Amino acid sequence: MGIKFSKYSALGNDYIVIDPLLNQINLNAENIKRICDRNFGVGSDGILYGPEFMDGRISLRIFNPDGSEAEKSGNGIRIFARYLKGHGYVESSEFDIITKGGIVHIFVLDSENSRIKVDMGTASFMSSDIPVRGVKREVVRERIVVRGQEIQCTCLTIGNPHCVVEMLEISKESAKGLGPLLENNELFPARINVQFLKVIDRNNIRIEIWERGAGYTLASGSSSCAAASAAFKLGLADRCIKVHMHGGAIEVEIGENGHILMTGSVDVVFEGELSSQFEKSLL
């Protein structure tokens, strides 16, 4: 039998779920890159490897298409939650998932398991938490010069690192041009996810996304939470914010206790199996 997988999409952000209870696979960096390749593999924005169990609790590992491991992914977590419900691993509409970026609490909102809310935890703007080099401080509206252009950044972590750039106008081209330069800037020792932010009104923002380890992305749950948190921190938006992206919109609510609640949809794309020829080519 070949390696079985399930493919899902969350607003155009697509992930492959590989279940270690059904498969034996060496998920080294080269194999991850091969599987995620859109020309030579299945094609995806990453691999969700789980469920694994820690003291009876479900844990998830998240891999980027460049082979690196991510701490947290909002869209990936929603996708994995739908996989768990659809494959009978959980019965309740509320449950926890352990990620490298912390424990998240899941709320499945409909009978089809297609609309899911996630408590992503709280945000920190402290440089030592993100991390950002330099003296310990909140990284709020700091100026960085990139390719001769001065830009204003607010950085934070919600279990993974983010850099939010305020702009009057945003575009795919600017995200692709500035995104990799910021991701790999020497200020960020662990690299960083980048969101280019345009405020529409106090309850609506639009973002373009450059993801660490993945590149230009149509949608991102953690990026939505980070951009909404930054907009709220800067006084540009209220607690309930709809985040608009090319792939669709995510609803973000910042609670009085600081917890960030993200709600969005998940679609099943297909179930598949890697061919024996492809499987033999893996390292």
Q: What is the DSSP string of 232-251?
A: HHTTSS-SEEEEEETTEEEE
pLDDT 10s per residue in the chain (283 long)? 689 999 999 999 999 999 999 999 999 999 999 999 999 999 999 999 999 998 889 999 999 999 999 999 999 999 999 999 999 999 999 999 999 999 999 999 999 999 999 999 999 999 999 999 999 999 999 999 998 889 999 999 999 999 999 999 999 999 999 999 999 999 999 999 999 999 999 999 999 999 999 999 999 999 999 999 999 999 999 999 999 999 999 999 999 999 999 999 999 999 999 999 999 889 7
Options 3.40.50.300, 3.10.310.10, 1.10.238.10, 3.90.1150.10; which CATH number does 142-258 get?
3.10.310.10
How far is it, in rounded angstroms, from Cα 63 to Cα 71? 9
CATH superfamily membership of 4-120+266-281: Diaminopimelate Epimerase; Chain A, domain 1 (3.10.310.10)
Give the residue extent of every domain in the chain: 4-120+266-281, 142-258
Sequence-distant (≥ 6) Cβ neighbours of residue 42 within 8 angstroms: 5, 7, 16, 35, 36, 272, 274
Percent helix, strand and coil across the chain, each to the nearest 5: 20, 40, 40
**H or E segment to which residue 142 belongs:** strand 142-146
Question: CB–CB of 110/102 below 8 Å?
Answer: no
Sequence-distant (≥ 6) Cβ neighbours of residue 68 within 8 angstroms: 29, 212, 213
